[in-house]
């Protein structure tokens, strides 16, 4: 169980062995444990004790909460990973997998890079692409990503105008090119399991971008 849950952490303080209550709370509105259905808890306990598949409800609830509040945190990503490994026998790595050809995973990575490019180009944006498009991008990429690609090119163009940010423009262009390699066309829709993979790709890429920034900052000090 814990091996399947293992995923790169956002913060060192996050638990190596999260409790069932911590995981189930991530499915509840406002993170309020009173909103967890008792039958749901029973289904999860049964899966843990018997080693059988997790209830599909855990996947749909996690994805629903992610789409509602646009947050893919450590516990949500860990549970999505565990579900995909146990129920679908998928290979999901602990941290960023640049070799993965899974389109849903790559689209999640791509969205994370686009979000980071916007953060660098438009500081203090009133409405970020995550707030406006995360749910639609993970469910209907064919409709959303062509629009996002045009937007990220505008942001990269802004970064190119300054010598201080030109390096970011080059870096984001390289990342986008690498992620897009092999994606001939955006899928019209992603089913719920693929939306889970999208979230993991997004989480992995965001963490990798943050780690790179932290490492660069340390070198400059």
| Mean pLDDT to the nearest integer, 105-128 | 91
Q: Distance between CA 183 and CA 10 in Å, rounded? A: 28
Least confident range of 101-115, 135-149, 198-212: 198-212
Contact 103, 197 (CB under 8 A): no
* Placement of tokens 């999640």 in the chain: 108
Is the pLDDT reported for residue 214 higher than 50?
A: no
pLDDT at 35: 86
Q: Distance between CA 185 and CA 180 in Å, rounded? A: 10
pLDDT per position as a tens digit, 149-164:
999 999 999 999 999 9
Both tokens assigned to 138: 């993970």
Rg, Å, the chain Cα set: 18
- Long-range CB pairs of 88-91, under 8 A, 24+ apart, other chains included: 88/193, 90/197
Determine the 3-state secondary structure of 184 from DSSP: coil
Q: What is the mean pLDDT of the chain?
A: 91
Nearest to 26 by CA among 81, 71, 85, 56: 71
Contact 28, 64 (CB under 8 A): no
pLDDT at 205: 98
pLDDT at 39: 83
Q: SS in 3 state form for 128-183?
A: CHHHHHHHHHHHCHHHHHHHHHHHHHHHHHHHHCCCCCHHHHHHHHHHHHHHHCCC
Q: State the alpha helices, DSSP H only, in 34-73.
A: 38-50, 56-69
pTM of the model: 0.92
| Mean pLDDT to the nearest integer, 59-69 | 94
pLDDT at 212: 62
pLDDT per position as a tens digit, 32-61:
888 888 888 899 999 988 989 999 999 999
pLDDT per position as a tens digit, 132-191:
999 999 999 999 999 999 999 999 999 999 999 999 999 999 999 999 998 989 999 999
Determine the 3-state secondary structure of 106 from DSSP: helix
In total, the chain counts a number of residues equal to: 221
pLDDT at 2: 67
Buried b (16+ CB within 10 A) or exposed e, 93-127: beebbeebebbbbbbbbbbbbbbbbbbbbeeeeee
pLDDT at 22: 93
Confidence of residue 218 (pLDDT cuts 50, 70, 90): very low
């Amino acid at each position: 169980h814990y091996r399947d849950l293992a995923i790169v952490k956002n913060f060192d303080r996050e638990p190596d062995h999260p409790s069932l209550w911590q995981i189930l709370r991530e499915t509840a509105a406002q993170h309020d444990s009173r909103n967890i259905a008792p039958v749901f808890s029973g289904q999860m306990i049964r899966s843990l004790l018997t080693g059988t598949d997790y209830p599909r409800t855990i996947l749909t609830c996690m994805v629903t909460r992610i789409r509602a509040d646009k947050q893919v945190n450590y516990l949500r990503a860990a549970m999505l990973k565990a579900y995909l490994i146990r129920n679908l026998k998928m290979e999901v790595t602990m941290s960023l997998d640049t070799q993965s050809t899974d389109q849903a995973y790559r689209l999640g990575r791509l969205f994370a890079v686009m979000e980071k490019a916007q953060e660098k180009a438009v500081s203090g944006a009133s409405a970020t692409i995550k707030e406006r498009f995360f749910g639609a991008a993970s469910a209907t990429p064919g409709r959303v990503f062509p629009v996002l690609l045009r937007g990220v090119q505008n942001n990269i163009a802004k970064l190119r105008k300054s010598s201080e940010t030109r390096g970011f423009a080059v870096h984001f262009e390289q990342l986008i090119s690498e992620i897009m390699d092999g994606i001939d066309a955006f899928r019209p829709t992603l089913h719920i399991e693929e939306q889970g993979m999208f979230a993991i790709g997004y989480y992995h890429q965001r963490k990798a971008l943050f780690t790179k920034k932290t490492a660069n900052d340390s070198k400059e000090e």
